[in-house]
Chain A
């Protein structure tokens, strides 16, 4: 949810006076005492954006675009004269989690891109509920000089329109991408496509304003999405907000139509233990519910989910955040990250990180086995760039 989280929460409780100073807020137009569940879910994106900026400003992650997607928050109402700078700052445990989450998805996307690079044909990344994610900008400007990436982001119209405006108006973004131009979209109003300005890369970003509950039975009815190209479908804590049947049929619409497909899902798990029960209750107090959480409760459930969706036994993997931090972050990188802030939350980290899983599967001409990627990362010592 939005940051600072406390004023936002109080707004949910109807403390109207706290709304002042929030003009031009990034939370969308309908914040207030009667926020809808959709608005709350949209707010979770702001939550992620603030966490990302916190991790960037403290040196966990390198992301020159993170700051453009966070509106500086006004000083809290009971601040004294010399109030705390409004730069958001999360606790070390959250920063480490944000680092782990970003690194994990980065590594899997690197796997996808490197295992499909030789084809010379476009590669599609379809990011569900992408919100303010900066990954497309990072990919397009990466020193790897990636080519032929057709990046698709699908999110609520209000989020897409905001992002599209930002790309138009922020110089650092419009320097990379052309002005988003409308493309007709039979499913919804219209989508917007921006081309990477660097010549001859074949990279583009297409923004689809679409409520995922209305997702078409065939993804190819969305402009620019083709089942012919190797495709990576990405859900960073997104499908969990959908009704389970919606989430399943969305996944199935890809697995049945796309011969070359990778799927990466990142979601919380274990709603039934003491920590998990508290998580469910805390989130529901904020109006956040995750209908799929009770369906896919464990890491094994999540793997089964992918196998049932058509990924072969040997091509499904999963790791908890805890396991990603332990196994995918090199010793050198761990030392660097641990050196940024002293993490005195060892037990809590294990608890929290054990309640998030990244599960992924692949089929048809790509390989998302992570081992090789890590050895490379070890050599470079710089896998997060």
Chain B
């Protein structure tokens, strides 16, 4: 088992609880290609989306974190266009 000792914690405040819950539901089904090298966990705490990344090194962490932030930006834009008042 590789040591997943390169970690990043990301907190993203949404305008309300529902949006952070929607984001978790959208992000969670994405498969992790190499779980022995990279893991990610999504949680909704009130209006906050909390994301924990664990990785075997900085290179894998960079790829994984940037990819997830890209997905979050797409979710934010979609809500903004279709739901936000």
User: Are A and B genuine complex partners?
Assistant: no
Instruction: Tell me the A residues contacting B by CB distance below 8 Å.
Output: none
Instruction: Tell me the B residues contacting A by CB distance below 8 Å.
Output: none
